[in-house]
Chain A
Amino acid sequence: MKKKLLSVLLCAAMAATMMTGCGTKEEPAAAPAEETSAPEADTSAAPADTTGSDEGSAEGKAYNIGYSNMQLKEDFFITVEGGIHKAAEDAGYVYNTTISDRDATKMKQNIEALVTKGADIIIDFNVMAEAGSAIASDLAKENIPMLSVDCIYDGAYFFGVNNLEAGEILGQTAAEYVDSKFGGELEYIVNVYDAASGDEIKKRNDGVVNVLQEKYGVPDDNVVWLDSKQDDVKSQTMTKDWLNSHPDATKIVIVGQNDDRGYAANAAVEGESRKDDCIVVSHNADPAPIENLQKHVEDKDTAWVATASYNSHLYGEQIMDMATKILNGEEVEQNGYTKVTIVTLDNVNEYVKDRDAAIAAMQ
């Protein structure tokens, strides 16, 4: 009997601890008490049925936002979540969030829990197109719109990067460096990418290649694709091997699909003392390229000259704006795209200042 009592006490203590210590508010800080119940009443007001409605956040309508997040381990996800949370609070919305940790089953269960809690819209940042499309279809049956972030789901609104366009913008910047560093001549375009990330993400490289091939007439045979299999070490080794097998090449643009690939490629370039022969550009504006650019603002002694920023610190505001319009029944483009900023040696300090100010405002 003592053991049973012990079990009950331990269990109760454990549950009480997690509820007092780990829980977060279900209600928005800014919302008045009566607004907590508003979302339930709004659930039936599907966006399709409210087209043309002039109700907006400015009138204090407290929507219930369900944010299904993949993780909170990487800067990009942390910043996006912080932005969405703040934007929801500022608008006086109910905000609930979950984390699936790359588990599609958990993602589905979490979204179901968010819907149970009265979500008027599901914003999903799990980047799982297959599972996400199926869930979007289920949600549509309940007239709950879904807004996917950075990955297009069938039947859902989308907000994120226009990968091809981002690549083309980065390509323009790369071309400027080709003109100034190589005198307007280019021999090779080397892409360090991950085939497993799919065709959509590959468009980031395609965009750069399109611009550079068109401008400098680089033959297809000189456009190289190195599949790093999402491995940093492999990315560096493959780039190094390619450079060693092309000792006479002196006008090379290396395109990293993301900054991890860019970092690895740049390490290979520096390791092989080929800085003068290469221009490295990549995507994401992670801390590594930003630090590298800041370090070389004065001496310009780096091959890694540009990274495309998708302005993750602006995601939250833009996503919430799109979500509000969807819920208000306003006309919204199916796909919304984030602003792309190319961060270079010339604008890195200004970019960091603006970014940090925006992030500070979230906290």
Chain B
Amino acid sequence: MSKVKSLLKNSKSELSTVIMLVVLCIIFGVQSEYFFTFRNIMNIGTYASIMGTMAAGLTVAMLLGGLDVSQYSLAAMAGMIMGMMIEAGFSVPVTLAVTILVGILGGCINAFIITIMRVNPIIATMGTQFIFRGAAFLLTDGRYIRIDDPVYYFIGNGKIFGIPFCLMVMLITYIIVWYLLKYTKYGRQVFAVGGNIQVAKLAGINANRVKFISHIIAGVTAVMGGIITVCQTSSAMPNHGYGNDMDGIAAVILGGIGLAGGKGKVGGTLIGILVLAVLVNGMTLLNVQAYWQQVVKGLVLIFAVFIDALRSSKSKA
């Protein structure tokens, strides 16, 4: 019994999200005969894979008390570069490597502005959000690029034993980030800097270095999401993800990572992602109009922040 209590205590931040997920699944399952079909569950997974992969990196940035609203724009820009390289005939490994490098570079730019120029992370990434999005359009003058290659098609749409490959990519990303945060020195430093930067500095932790690496991770996962997007839709489009910038943040907060940073688990983010994916999918199956879906997503975000505020006030007390 004490073990159960301990488990509940340690995982309570994710528990409310798990309950929300279960309740949503039950409601949608009752309301729509299609919800619990294997095909639909895989559709939810496919939908979640893009946002989920990106949010894994975002979790690290937010554990430091920062935000990154530039992820979707960076993903779009990297996707356009990827499309142009495919069009120019570059091989798959080279194209993917360069695209990932774009993510590293984008993360470095964000990190430089935040750590060296000391600009507030929200403002910094809001600025780069515009820059990356503008660059995405400038690269081809707004032209879309069709991708017609079986390898890329497989990345976005292929299945192994019936499970979407992109879903596997997302899960592997979570395992890597989970391992980084839980079992490495860097992971402990992330929590230390996010929890109390002054104390972390006094303990000899190079906070700027930790932040720098975190934003690079966010950049890399952003372009991984971009790669999956391009492969899923078989097209590179500069407006990919436009208007979705807050979805990942909502998922991370839903997953129990506070805006102040310092505590939370990447597993919580995964549950938050599933909540949003289930919510959108369920509403689509129930013919809820897209604009009402936006309203509901907004309510969920407010609800998540409200829960975060409740947690914070209790921990302070």
Residues from chain A with a CB closer than 8 A to the CB of B147 are 130
Q: Are B46 and A112 in contact (CB under 8 A)?
A: yes
Q: Are B235 and A131 in contact (CB under 8 A)?
A: yes
Q: Are B239 and A108 in contact (CB under 8 A)?
A: no
Among residues of B, the one whose C-beta sits closest to the C-beta of A98 is B284
A295 at the binding interface (Cβ < 8 Å): no
Q: Are B289 and A116 in contact (CB under 8 A)?
A: no
A101 at the binding interface (Cβ < 8 Å): yes
A238 at the binding interface (Cβ < 8 Å): no
**A96-B287 contact given A104-B237, A113-B43, CB 8 Å threshold:** yes
In-complex Cβ contact of A113 among B148, B281, B289, B292 (8 A): B281
Among residues of B, the one whose C-beta sits closest to the C-beta of A115 is B39
B161 at the binding interface (Cβ < 8 Å): no
B168 at the binding interface (Cβ < 8 Å): no
What class of interface size applies to chain A in its complex with B? 35 or more
Binds B, one of A19-27, A170-178, A243-251, A347-355: A19-27
Q: Are B40 and A116 in contact (CB under 8 A)?
A: yes
Residues from chain B with a CB closer than 8 A to the CB of A133 are 146, 234
Residues from chain A with a CB closer than 8 A to the CB of B307 are 3, 7
Scan B235-276; emit 1 where CB is below 8 A from any A CB, else 0.
101011111100000000000000000000000000000000
Tally inter-chain residue pairs, CB-CB below 8 A: 146
Among residues of A, the one whose C-beta sits closest to the C-beta of B153 is A134
Scan B193-204; emit 1 where CB is below 8 A from any A CB, else 0.
000000000000
Q: Are B285 and A109 in contact (CB under 8 A)?
A: no
Q: Are B242 and A102 in contact (CB under 8 A)?
A: yes
Residues from chain B with a CB closer than 8 A to the CB of A105 are 47, 50, 229, 232-233, 240-241
State how many angstroms separate the Cβ of A129 from the closest Cβ of chain B: 7
A179 at the binding interface (Cβ < 8 Å): no
Scan B168-201; emit 1 where CB is below 8 A from any A CB, else 0.
0000000000000000000000000000000000
Whole-angstrom distance between the alpha carbons of A130 and B232 in the complex? Answer: 11
Of B12, B27, B141, chain A has the most CB atoms within 10 Å of the CB of: B27
Which residues of B (1-56) have their CB < 8 Å from a CB of A? Answer: 12, 15-16, 19-20, 23-24, 27, 31, 34, 37, 39-40, 43, 46-47, 50
Q: Are B31 and A19 in contact (CB under 8 A)?
A: yes
Residues from chain B with a CB closer than 8 A to the CB of A116 are 34, 37, 39-40, 43, 285
Q: Are B281 and A11 in contact (CB under 8 A)?
A: no
Among residues of A, the one whose C-beta sits closest to the C-beta of B137 is A196
Residues from chain A with a CB closer than 8 A to the CB of B116 are none
In-complex Cβ contact of B235 among A4, A134, A138 (8 A): A134
In-complex Cβ contact of B233 among A3, A12, A108 (8 A): A108
State how many angstroms separate the Cβ of B291 from the closest Cβ of chain A: 7
State how many angstroms separate the Cβ of A202 from the closest Cβ of chain B: 13
B145 at the binding interface (Cβ < 8 Å): yes
Q: Are B235 and A15 in contact (CB under 8 A)?
A: no
In-complex Cβ contact of B23 among A11, A96, A115, A196 (8 A): A11
Whole-angstrom distance between the alpha carbons of A230 and B239 in the complex? Answer: 15
Among residues of A, the one whose C-beta sits closest to the C-beta of B311 is A3
Q: Are B285 and A99 in contact (CB under 8 A)?
A: no
Whole-angstrom distance between the alpha carbons of A109 and B303 in the complex? Answer: 25
Residues from chain B with a CB closer than 8 A to the CB of A99 are 289-291
Q: Are A129 and B144 in contact (CB under 8 A)?
A: yes
Among residues of B, the one whose C-beta sits closest to the C-beta of A99 is B290
Q: Are A19 and B242 in contact (CB under 8 A)?
A: no
In-complex Cβ contact of B34 among A8, A12, A22, A117 (8 A): A117
Q: Are A18 and B288 in contact (CB under 8 A)?
A: yes
Which residues of A (80-127) have their CB < 8 Å from a CB of B? Answer: 96-105, 107-110, 112-113, 115-117
Which residues of B (56-76) have their CB < 8 Å from a CB of A? Answer: none
B157 at the binding interface (Cβ < 8 Å): yes
A10 at the binding interface (Cβ < 8 Å): yes
Residues from chain A with a CB closer than 8 A to the CB of B283 are 18, 22
Among residues of A, the one whose C-beta sits closest to the C-beta of B243 is A101
In-complex Cβ contact of A109 among B16, B43, B146, B310 (8 A): B43
State how many angstroms separate the Cβ of A96 from the closest Cβ of chain B: 6
Residues from chain B with a CB closer than 8 A to the CB of A12 are 23, 27
**A103-B235 contact given A4-B15, A117-B34, CB 8 Å threshold:** no
Q: Are B24 and A11 in contact (CB under 8 A)?
A: yes
Residues from chain A with a CB closer than 8 A to the CB of B39 are 112, 115-116
Q: Are A104 and B37 in contact (CB under 8 A)?
A: no
Scan A305-342; emit 1 where CB is below 8 A from any B CB, else 0.
00000000000000000000000000000000000000
Q: Are A23 and B287 in contact (CB under 8 A)?
A: yes
Which residues of A (43-87) have their CB < 8 Å from a CB of B? Answer: 72
In-complex Cβ contact of B291 among A25, A72, A108 (8 A): A72
**A98-B290 contact given A116-B43, A131-B237, CB 8 Å threshold:** yes
Residues from chain A with a CB closer than 8 A to the CB of B16 are 3-4, 7-8
Q: Are B235 and A196 in contact (CB under 8 A)?
A: no
**A138-B284 contact given A7-B16, A130-B233, CB 8 Å threshold:** no
> 27 pairs across A/B with beta carbons < 8 Å?
A3-B310, A8-B16, A8-B20, A11-B23, A14-B300, A18-B288, A19-B31, A26-B287, A97-B287, A100-B290, A103-B241, A103-B242, A104-B233, A104-B237, A105-B47, A105-B50, A108-B232, A109-B47, A109-B280, A113-B284, A117-B34, A128-B237, A130-B235, A131-B237, A134-B146, A196-B141, A196-B143
Taking beta carbons and an 8 Å cutoff, which residues of B are in contact with A? 12, 15-16, 19-20, 23-24, 27, 31, 34, 37, 39-40, 43, 46-47, 50, 141-148, 153, 157, 229, 232-235, 237, 239-244, 280-281, 283-292, 296, 299-300, 303, 307, 310
A-B complex: 3 closest residue pairs judged by Cβ atoms: A134-B234, A130-B235, A99-B290
